[in-house]
Amino acid sequence: MIAKLVSPLGSPKLAATTAQFRNRLPTQFWRGAPLYIAVVVFVLFLLNVTLFHSGVQDTTFVLPHVPTKHNIPKYTRAEFPRKIWQTWKVNPLAFEQRDLDTARSWYVEWHFGPDGFNRPDIVNFYRSVKAAIVKADLLRYLVMYAEGGLYADIDVEALKPLSKFVPERCDMADIDMVIGVEIDEPDWKDHPILGPKSRSFGQWTFMCKPQLPVMMRLIEQIMTWLSGVAKEQGVPLAEVKLDSDQIISGTGPSAFTNAIIAEMNDASESPGRPITWDTFHDLGESKLVSRILVLTVEAFAAGQGHSNSGNHDARAALVKHHYHASNWPSRHPRYKHPAYGEVEQCNWVDECVKKWDENVAAWSRLSEAEQKSIIAEKERKEKEREEQRKKEEEERKKKEEEDRKKKEEEDKRKKEEEAAKAAKEKTAKKNAGKGGEKAAKDNKA
């Protein structure tokens, strides 16, 4: 049986037309055609040209993956962008909250929308979150990922120029990020309250180059964490309730630190030697780890009264944090024992923390009457302290008012004396002029 051969070009009419067209071209062209086609395809591949692109955008929020060293680009840039970014949670221009949210959303949608990094999951997440401190922390990370430069809270004062942030012994091209130790109290790492925040880098001031994987890792880490909290609470993202410790561990210094150490380990050239906080404990000089320069605690966090942070007169101190730009802890309170208050008030002083722990441990063994007695005594002392504070405040205001009135009276007296002196000089000058005229008339006579 003989199979019927069919032209691959379809109908005989189409085949004849094609043959006619082929006869009009040189034989050399047809012999080299495969090579020409291969060259064109290779050039398009190098240029990474996308011939077919769908304009449909997926706006469904999906929990993202965390990047690893196998799927993130290796970023190289010689210099840090010459940009300084500052944010605040208390609005000095008195915008309404809705206007602030609208203004911030423009930035996020511009850079992370379809015309930017095309991350609809990030845009949708940012729109959904309502907690101001979470949006503020997230916004700083989004800005630093998109733009790079220096970030500093609005209440951070510069003590040294930016040129001092990187030691002369370091090559700027070898550094992607500059951070500083904030809390270095590892002895309390197992404490139920202080433990998660006992070892951290500060995120009120840091410097980085744009589009670093560690910044995206942190952003996605926050998205995953808060979505998990919302699921646990059985509420939408907008209705999540968070305390102070959750903020610190979820979006603040602890989250910042965990993302950075994870990135250091992913980028490490010695995977058999894990990088932990021990690498930065009692740091005597800056250390470069996986292209991240870690400065000593004095650099960004001097004068804290703990972590051997020294004071702002130290040679290594680069900034001064005034701690007065935000009242977010009032909306996300810390744990406060009914009788012994907040352990954070101890400011990491060992004796104070131990005493607090002992008192709290003994509390459960007390009778209800004993507990009420201790609380009543605490309230009495607090009332006395508050009355004393008000008294001192009234005395201060009274003294300021007395000093103001005294100064006004002194200024008034000086003005009167100056006016009298000026009038006396004017009179004397006038009299002197009249005496000269009389003398001239007498001489003429």
In tens, the pLDDT along 56-95 reads 333 333 344 344 443 344 555 778 999 999 876 555 555 5
Of 6-15, 62-71, 262-271, which one has max mean pLDDT?
262-271
b/e burial code for range 183-194 (CB count within 10 A of at least 16 → b)? bbbbebeeeebb
b/e burial code for range 4-42 (CB count within 10 A of at least 16 → b)? eeeeeeeeeeeeeeeeeeeeeeeeeeeeeeeeeeeeeee
Helix (H) or strand (E) run with residue 92 in it: none
Residue 304 has pLDDT above 90, yes or no: yes
Q: How confident is the model at residue 96, as a pLDDT?
A: 56
- Report residue 332's pLDDT band, with 50, 70 and 90 as the boundaries: confident
Tens-digit pLDDT profile for residues 114-131: 999 999 999 999 999 998
Tens-digit pLDDT profile for residues 385-420: 999 999 999 999 999 999 999 999 999 999 988 988
Q: How confident is the model at residue 28, as a pLDDT?
A: 54
Q: What is the mean pLDDT of residues 205-209?
A: 97
The Cα–Cα gap between 380 and 94 comes to 38
Q: How confident is the model at residue 7, as a pLDDT?
A: 36
- Report residue 437's pLDDT band, with 50, 70 and 90 as the boundaries: low
- Report residue 12's pLDDT band, with 50, 70 and 90 as the boundaries: very low
pTM of the model as a whole: 0.70
Among the listed ranges 86-90, 202-206, 218-222, 348-352, which one has the minimum average pLDDT value?
86-90
Residue 49 has pLDDT above 60, yes or no: no
Q: What percent of the chain has pLDDT over 70?
A: 74
Q: How confident is the model at residue 91, as a pLDDT?
A: 52
Rounded to the nearest integer, the mean pLDDT of the chain is: 81
Q: How confident is the model at residue 333, as a pLDDT?
A: 79
Q: What is the mean pLDDT of residues 372-396?
A: 92
The larger pLDDT score, comparing residue 77 to residue 221, is at: 221
Other CB atoms within 10 A of residue 216 CB: 22
Q: How confident is the model at residue 340, as a pLDDT?
A: 93
Nearest to 199 by CA among 240, 255, 143: 255
The larger pLDDT score, comparing residue 434 to residue 30, is at: 434
- Provide the terminal-to-terminal Cα distance of the chain, rounded to the nearest Å: 161
Q: What is the mean pLDDT of residues 218-225?
A: 97
